[in-house]
Amino acid sequence: MTRIYSGGCACGAIRYETRREPVFQNHCQCRDCQTRSGTGHGSYLSFSGRDGVKVTGEARAWGIVADSGNEKRHAFCPACGTPVYLTFAAMPDLIAVHAASLDDPGLFVPQAVTYGVRAQTWDTLDPALPVFERMVPG
């Protein structure tokens, strides 16, 4: 049976859905994720094939140059402010959704911690997860 990954913002104005399996699931401890989340990390499910992820509603987006030196775009709901997904200039076919935006957040199964070099000592994550100083080597 094909699993459906669906979710959206807090007010329901933006929704997404895909039947694709995530290609990567991670906690990211870069400073950008820390400041945007208001905590020590962000948690994401990344999907290949943006055309296979149906997004409804009008998101607003802003860009930032990531630690990698590449631009990433953060999409959020203009009504409630919920961050919903990210896209990446260097990987235009990839879309990453915020784990907490899933209708069933229990579908999130983290595989690794990225940008561990930026970790805050008070942000304790599962010690069984591999930690990469930056992004997972490609």
Q: What is the mean pLDDT of residues 71-95?
A: 94
pLDDT value of position 69: 80
The pair of structure tokens assigned to 127 is 């010690």
Identity of the highest mean pLDDT range in 4-18, 49-63, 122-136: 4-18
Strand ranges in 83-126 using DSSP code E only, listed in sequence order: 83-88, 91-98, 112-114
Work out the end-to-end distance of the chain between its first and last CA atoms, rounded to an integer number of angstroms.
30
**Between these two residues, 2 and 111, which has the higher pLDDT value?**
111
Q: What is the mean pLDDT of residues 11-32?
A: 96
Nearest Cα neighbor of 24 from 88, 85, 113, 115 is: 113
d(CA 90, CA 71): 7
pLDDT value of position 137: 66
Residue 99 carries which side chain, given as an amino acid letter? Answer: A
For the chain, what percent of residues have pLDDT higher than 90? Answer: 78
Q: What is the mean pLDDT of residues 102-127?
A: 95
